[in-house]
Amino acid sequence: MSSLQARIYLASRSPRRRELLRQIGVPFDLLVFRGGERGADADVDETPLPGEEVEHYVERIALVKAEAGWRRLQWRTLPLYPVLSADTTIALDGEIIGKPADAADAAAILRRLSGRTHRVLTAVAISDGTQTRSRISTSDVRFRALTDLEIRHYIATGEPMDKAGAYGIQGRAAIFIEEIRGSYTGIMGLPLFETAQLLDAFGYPL
């Protein structure tokens, strides 16, 4: 990729991922379906496969998102820049925990995380139509014990509803977290170390 073509597409609606790419100076265009096309990514089924390990799951979804994003470029006849995607999930007791379905589900998830350590896995993938590569970041996060009142107040902010594990480390939930071991940006949703390695592998000048 020449310096004149040093641009990518971000196949994500996440404002955190946009913020993190800007932090490391990566120019990008958003690649998401417009409201008239659909409300969700119908070409990406995020249902875990029976017995699927969390590492395989999160990497598979990131790869599928990147490849689906590349197909969108072709459908729309857009300039062909590499497509970056990512997927974040939580693992607790061997179970994959994604975004909460509603407020009651968010409360149930936060009660399970209370006073315990869970894993946060984020996979990042890039596709340029000829190759697709991915990397995974895994971190451990420990929550202090949460009261039901704290959980209710946090859910009332609306912050948990679009986030894996029903919390965002960069938001109000920071006060719940006793300790992290791993990548802060990975927990946010885009591990910058792994992202930079992938961009370098695709010839992106950082």
Where does the pLDDT of residue 38 fall: very low under 50, low under 70, confident under 90, or very high at 90 and above?
Answer: very low
Distance between CA atoms of 123 and 194, rounded to whole angstroms? 9
**Where in 80-150 does DSSP place strands (E)?**
83-92, 95-97, 117-127, 132-143
Global pTM?
0.90
> In a 10 Å sphere around its CB, with 0-12 CB exposed, 13-18 middle and 19+ buried, how is residue 125 labelled?
buried
Q: Does 2 have pLDDT greater than 70?
A: no
CA angle 144, 145, 147 (to 5 degrees): 135
Q: Does 40 have pLDDT greater than 50?
A: no
Question: Is-catalytic flag, 200?
Answer: no
pLDDT tens-place string over residues 153-171: 999 999 999 999 999 999 9
Q: Which is catalytic among the residues 87, 93, 140, 148?
A: 87
Residue 87 forms beta bridges with which residues?
Answer: 123
Distance between CA atoms of 191 and 184, rounded to whole angstroms? 8
**DSSP H/E element including 56:** helix 54-76
Q: Which token pair is 198?
A: 């992938």
**How many beta carbons lie within 10 A of that of residue 197, not counting itself?**
14
**What pLDDT was estimated at residue 6?**
75
Tell which CATH architecture fits domain 3-201.
Alpha-Beta Complex (3.90)
